Chain A
């Protein structure tokens, strides 16, 4: 019961934060920009200056760029919305009024996690749905496997949420934000090192990327999502920056799921034991 009360209040809290609406506005502005760009692109294509095979590849590539931006927005928003929820409430003493109620502490953490997860699921669904609707309307193109892609992007956001919760039970808000976004940066860099390494057959570079993914699997989730959503032709031709020369394995995806669950579990464990 306590879980759902906490989830409800957290959802409402996230919804009342300016950051969410800013991110949503940024997302919608981005969709508008995307639609405008695509509109002119399609006009140009309709004039018949490109080969028919490219007719679907160009809007498809634009769609991938758009999805990448959505992925980034969602990750950043997940961290920013939830970064203060545990550390901030512990620091201000707000949490004491809740922690002394007849609700076990694990329910407080899990409830908050679910509240934020629900919020960012809605956010992600809106943007991913929106961009696919735009490309479908204008160019009769959608991402290839939208549910899989969405699920992977969702997992990436959930992963960040768990990590932010984990650091939030250990460190101050600022430290928490720096650590969580720092890990995203590390994964991003590791991902590119791996790609370039694979393209040049440099095994050590690929291994560096894999180690980075083990430390933080967020980029691996995106690359797998991109691979699932991008057209097979683009994948095969290395047509876009989202083609993976070294595709994250299914093991890596399972690993990311376990990572997400464990980070949340350790956050709960720490919260149960620490002084409030």
Chain B
């Protein structure tokens, strides 16, 4: 069986870490073809500096391929650029005969770090990912979660300006996931840009500033997460004296208005309308007991944007 895949990649304009517009990554029309099968059709991406940027998309949408193309292709493939990046591959594995500390020292030396710098950095990172006690343990005795942690540590050795993380929380327990989240946020505070590929929407929702939705190898939408989740709010209203006229009147601000007994459910495109709706109801004599806007979860937005066919 052959592993070799004939592939073709084209990057008419990929700029990493160079843009004057404060972008860490900018790509236009990046594509990847494996044996005639298109994995990434046309990747148009602009990742602002200092942000945590999430890649979202159904299985097989080309997320990992896109990430690998950015980190293994050019110009990230250029040696000077690679000094500034850190990368955690999906399912991190390494020579199982190395100990955790040896692994970090090896990767540090590959980054060109001095021995004295490593003497300080290796224990620091082992502490950061919670592996200080396991510094002398061989990777063959590591659990999946521990491998993921040491993988994350090696991606941070050089204090990278740009960090690529492919499913960083896979195999981690809830404590580990929180740790990773905290580390990612600390990196942003340090001024680094993080490109995060995760299928765990709840993770992305908590961590990311901006997300790109990818389907069939194309970015179909890039949005700031806060604005994305702020729009389209569903509101539950519980009140006495609700009438059909009130429900009809609310429709000037809201869509899909539904009145059932003492409960009114409506959906608004902008949260700006909420005070007006409330005033409208109160002015017309409704006794409001509850007025609860509910943010749509990222999962719902995901299914709305990407569709629930899984992109297949």
Contact = CB atoms under 8 A, between A and B. Distances in A.
Interface of A: 1-2, 5, 9, 12-13, 16, 87, 90-94, 96-104, 169-172, 174-175, 274-276
Top 3 nearest A-B pairs (CB, nearest first) are: A101-B110, A102-B82, A96-B89
Given A2-B110, A97-B92, A275-B72, 14 more contacts: A9-B106, A96-B87, A97-B87, A100-B82, A100-B87, A101-B82, A102-B80, A102-B83, A103-B79, A103-B110, A169-B4, A170-B4, A172-B2, A175-B2
A93 B89 contact: yes
Interface stretch (B93-101, B189-197, B213-221, B250-258): B93-101
A1 B91 CA distance: 28
B107 A101 contact: yes
Contact of A13 (B7, B95, B110): B95
Contacts of B151: 97
8 contacts: A1-B112, A9-B106, A13-B97, A92-B93, A97-B92, A99-B72, A275-B7, A276-B68
Given A13-B95, A96-B68, A97-B151, A274 B4 contact: yes
Contacts of A13: 95, 97
Interface in B99-128: 106-107, 109-112
A163 B72 CA distance: 26
Contact of A100 (B4, B71, B90): B71
A90 B5 CA distance: 12
Contacts of A274: 4-5
A101 B111 contact: yes
Contact of A93 (B83, B85, B90): B90
Of B3, B85, B151, most buried by chain A (CB within 10 Å of CB) is B3
Contacts, number: 79
Interface in B52-104: 68, 71-72, 76, 79-80, 82-83, 85, 87, 89-95, 97
A12 B98 CA distance: 10
Given A5-B109, A102-B111, A171 B90 contact: no
B154 interface: yes
A171 B2 CA distance: 5
B145 to A, nearest CB: 17
Contact of B106 (A1, A5, A96): A5
Contacts of A276: 68, 72
Contacts of A174: 1
Contacts of A102: 79-80, 82-83, 110-112
B130 to A, nearest CB: 20
Contacts of A97: 87, 89, 92, 94, 107, 151, 154
B214 to A, nearest CB: 19
A11 to B, nearest CB: 12
A120 to B, nearest CB: 19
A94 B93 contact: yes
Contact of B5 (A87, A93, A175, A275): A275
A93 to B, nearest CB: 5
B2 A170 contact: yes
Given A9-B95, A98-B110, A101-B111, A91 B3 contact: yes
Nearest to B154: A97
Given A2-B110, A97-B94, A98-B110, A104 B79 contact: yes
A172 B111 contact: no
A172 to B, nearest CB: 5
Given A9-B106, A94-B95, A175-B1, A100 B72 contact: yes
A101 B97 CA distance: 20
A90 B6 CA distance: 15
Given A5-B109, A87-B3, A101-B111, A96 B80 contact: no
A256 B95 CA distance: 33
